[in-house]
Amino acid sequence: MSHRLQNSRGLTLIEVLVSITILGIITTAFLSYFTQAYSYTKKNQDQTVGINIARNVLYYMEQQNYQSIKNQYFPSDTNPKEVKLTIDNCKDSVFDTPVCRDFFSTEINNVDYSTTVTLSRDVTNGSQTASPNLSNYLIGVEVQVTWGNQSRTVRGLIQK
């Protein structure tokens, strides 16, 4: 047994270099997982912010006065059935200008979010158009928020 202890050799330089190389390859593969997880988390964070912005704008639009919106954008049956609103419409008397500007153009976490609102006289329930009588009491609202190459849409109603 004492003979074995005296003949034991340490690790050679080549063995150490090979083990460091293998450890480096494994560490690189492991760290790339964290990079992918971070980019996935960042994308989901942006989507969550985009959906929240869309919901806030939708809530704001749903709180608007039905009659004011109808008189401004749908004064008669000959008008278009849909109206797209952007930041340029904030100067209209229907909307509170500072709040409107913040809703239509928002920057959060150094990401610019732009909003487009579509008002519609034809209110639909799924794939079916609502009865004409119901359309006299509701205005459909579709809010689309766009940032980078992504967008999210939410829908709601302005009630009489």
Taking the C-alpha atoms of residue 23 and residue 26, their distance in angstroms, rounded to an integer, is 5
From first to last of its 160 residues, the chain has per-residue pLDDT tens of: 555 555 556 678 888 899 999 999 999 888 888 888 988 898 888 889 989 989 988 898 888 888 888 888 888 766 678 888 888 877 766 777 777 788 788 888 888 888 889 888 876 655 555 555 666 788 888 999 998 888 999 988 888 7
Distance between CA atoms of residues 90 and 17, nearest Å? 67
Cα(159)–Cα(144) distance, integer angstroms: 20
What residue type is assigned to position 87 of the chain? I
31 Rama class: left (phi>0) / alpha (psi -120 to 50) / beta: alpha
Residue pLDDT, tens place only, 60-85: 888 888 888 888 888 876 667 888 88
Domain boundaries, the chain: 13-159
Enter the pTM of the model.
0.69
